[in-house]
A and B are shown apart, each in its own frame.
Chain A
């Protein structure tokens, strides 16, 4: 149904008038021009399209726009503040926890969701939380190390 949907996008109010059954991924990429959120599989298997919706990591390829109404949506473009990177981004940089970079935005946002809920996760908790995010290049051990380091740097004070 054609409707105007309002939500908070990266801390600012956003409004889109479109078919509200469309998936958030395409509204972000097409209507709002935020291409940091990636299309990887279209069926919620890979996590390349993950964004934060009310502090939870959500597969935007499978989230109808209407379900984002009134919520807080954060994409990779909205992480960090005042020109500074978020500690998770800093840790991914330091550990070179990426190669081709295509899955990286989704990985970082999913890591954010973990630290919001579990500020000092064990290695097992990290692995379990990240396990349904796919990456083909193989920096997995570095991603785990980066999340551990970010957790330590943030000292439990997830933002």
Chain B
């Protein structure tokens, strides 16, 4: 049964909505509702709908969250139907990002399920006249003494239950039976059969496809637009404020009509391009904020035998999900329903309400399957466009960006600069670490090695609060925001220091690490990789490690460099990850493999080129993302750590990919590359001076 069917039969009609409780004044749980009815409904047929504000972007939380619910409630995984990201039915959620679905929302869902289970057991105890302690639950059936049994469905059928027991203990991971396994993904059948529907797959009677007129560059102002040819071609032309769109019943005919619009623009004022941007960022970045400090920099300088200063650069990169931003909107009778590819359905609902001047309760955002997000679908401009055009035309409107729009309006990962001033003692220990990151953001900027005298400063970030005009286009969160840049700089620099100290890069790291979890992932990666200690470069092996919001990761890579072309080929990647309790082992491996694969792109090829507000990348011919032929052998090692609560796994390994490849290239060639991506041209330049 599909969630869509559930809505009509079991919820809106009412008979299956059984666990209705008054909202007892229990402490708010991180802004999530504390009434378990918000998260689950047990239907008369025994199926359990799990309602969550998170969305399925491909990261697999549809399956992992269902596993957590199944365990805590004691129901079969197959009986759980996930309903995700529908603001009309699911409890509020801030958005799907930051590897939070399991780490932060998992405990909320488990707590709700634990209380629901306790209420159900109490009801079963009364029904079966057996003390709760003597009851046994399996796959939604409560068994008492002898053959007495009652199912959850029978217990709740036809009743309105107003009972709360307050917070109940959740199970220990040792008691998990569904979590910790790797079942078939819940989205699997839909996705291999083409039945999975995305926001651009909805076909409603009277639907119009809209194409919006776009400027050639950010900052270009429209001076005139002649739409007569588009209208003659059968398209409807709509102007709503700054929005000029052509609409047609067929998408491709809307495309043709848009091409017939004759528009003139006043060009934007000259501004930075991808070569001059770093100087600009250093000048224009907001003042630095100290985000970590210990010891005294002066004392560190005194202890250091010499100062080692380096600057690292990272480029703008695009999210480039295969599904472009898409939305289908219906506005009628003062209400709006919008199917959107979005990572933030609840904040999108607010934005649509504001744009249409509707009360938020009259706006429903439904998030179907999303074809990749990576942070880029935290912004959902396309859904606002669809909603506005649906209101103006009075018909359902679909907006599916083409690839050029996707690049133009992407919220790129910001270009960034990191300056590190450091010092080694004569005994080969780091005495000084003075770190300043510009424009990447401060997440995980603070280093984790044992360094007595250190300071970390951050100027600007990806999340807003930047001076106007700092970037020539929008920037935003990109898978593991801030941390790709911070890890590239830190781990490259650690290798430089190791080389100065004449030490093996792994031994040098361990020498400065008392954090047991970090030592453990490094050692696990080294065992799997077969790391051979070395004093001199030569083998093309690299190491990098990081902490990402509680998850520990160590990556080792083998790289071969063609010194003639400058092309670096990653042959093998070993990644050890400690994410605490592992809810879905295969799901975690999928995320590690995905992070490593995606990381090859920002490390080796991906860079947005631009000039005077014009984004020069318009399609995948000029913006190269990783392909099958780039793939290294990937080996993922999951650390068994049931004592630590589950943390995130959707992002961590990607952060190490820049540095691990840079370090391996340096090991192979002695060429140190301080700027991402490490394109063949940059590798050749570095080889020339190595």
Binding site for B on A (CB under 8 A): 19, 22-23, 25-26, 29-31, 33-43, 45-46, 48, 75-77, 79-80, 85, 89, 92-93, 96, 98-105, 108, 126-128, 130-144
* Shortest Cβ distance from B191 into A: residue: A101
Q: How far is the CA of A139 from the CA of B620 in the complex (A)?
A: 19
Q: How many residues of B contact A (CB 8 A)?
A: 58
Q: Which residues of A contact B324 (CB under 8 A)?
A: 39-40
**Are A102 and B198 in contact, CB atoms less than 8 angstroms apart?**
yes
Interface stretch (choices B34-42, B269-277, B364-372, B486-494): B364-372
Are A77 and B194 touching (Cβ within 8 A)?
yes
CA distance A85 to B198 in the complex (A): 21
B201 close to A (CB within 8 Å): yes
- Of B189, B192, B369, B400, the residue contacting A39 (CB under 8 A) is B400
Interface string of B160-184 (1 = CB under 8 A from A): 0000000000000000000000001
B594 touching A138, Cβ below 8 Å: yes
Interface residues of B in 628-645 (CB under 8 A from A): 628-629, 631, 634
Per DSSP, chain B at the interface is loop
Q: Given A85-B192, A93-B184, are A127 and B371 also a contact pair (CB < 8 Å)?
A: no
Interface residues of B in 215-252 (CB under 8 A from A): 249-252
List the B residue with the shortest CB-CB distance to A127: B628
Whether A93 and B628, one on each chain, are in contact in the complex, defined by CB atoms closer than 8 angstroms, is no
Q: When each residue 369-392 of chain B gets 1 if its CB lies under 8 Å from chain A and 0 otherwise, what string results? A: 111101000000000000000000
Of the candidates A105, A127, A133, A136, the one whose C-beta lies within 8 Å of that of B372 is A136
B394-429 interface (Cβ within 8 A of A): 400, 402-403
Tell me if A's interface is mostly helix, strand, loop or mixed. loop
Q: In the complex, how many angstroms separate the beta carbon of B183 from the nearest chain A beta carbon?
A: 10
- Chain B residues in the interface with A (C-beta under 8 A): 57-60, 184-185, 187-198, 200-201, 203, 249-253, 319-324, 369-372, 374, 400, 402-403, 586, 590, 593-598, 619-621, 625-629, 631, 634
B149 to chain A, nearest CB (A): 34
Question: Which partner residue on chain A sits nearest B634 by CB separation?
Answer: A141
Asked if A93 and B625 make an inter-chain contact with CB atoms under 8 angstroms apart, the answer reads: no
Bound-state CA distance A100–B626 (Å) is 16
| B252 pairs with A26, CB closer than 8 A | yes
Do the beta carbons of B619 and A45 come within 8 Å of each other? yes
Chain A hits for B187, CB < 8 A: 101
Which of B57, B195, B253, B400 is the one whose CB lies under 8 Å from A100? B57
Contact of B631 among A77, A134, A140 (CB under 8 A): A140
- The answer on a CB contact under 8 Å between B320 and A33 is no
When distances are taken between beta carbons in the complex, the residues of chain B under 8 Å from A19 are 253
Closest B residue to A86 using CB positions: B192
Point out which of B59, B185, B594 has the most chain A C-beta atoms below 10 A from its C-beta: B594
Q: Is the CB of A134 within 8 A of B322?
A: yes
12 additional A-B residue pairs with CB within 8 Å, beyond A100-B58, A102-B371: A41-B619, A46-B322, A96-B184, A98-B58, A101-B371, A102-B198, A105-B194, A136-B319, A136-B374, A137-B372, A139-B590, A140-B628
How many angstroms from the CA of A72 to the CA of B58 in the assembled complex? Answer: 32
B58 engages A101 (CB within 8 Å)? yes
* Structural contact, A43 and B371, CB atoms closer than 8 A: no
Give the residue of A42, A100, A132 whose beta carbon is less than 8 angstroms from that of B322.
A100
Is the pair B196, A101 in contact by a Cβ cutoff of 8 Å? yes
The answer to whether B598 and A141 touch across the interface, beta carbons within 8 angstroms, is no
Residues of B within 8 A of A37 (CB): 194
Q: What is the distance, in angstroms, from A47's C-beta to the closest C-beta of chain B?
A: 9
Cβ-closest chain A residue relative to B190: A101
CA A83 to CA B75, docked complex, whole Å: 28
Chain A to chain B contacts (Cβ below 8 Å), 8 pairs = A30-B250, A33-B203, A39-B324, A43-B619, A79-B193, A134-B625, A137-B372, A140-B631
Q: Chain A residue with minimal CB distance to B598?
A: A138
Given known pairs A36-B193, A42-B402, A76-B194, the reply for A101 and B369 (CB within 8 Å) is yes
List the 3 closest A-B pairs by CB distance, nearest first.
Answer: A36-B194, A100-B58, A138-B597
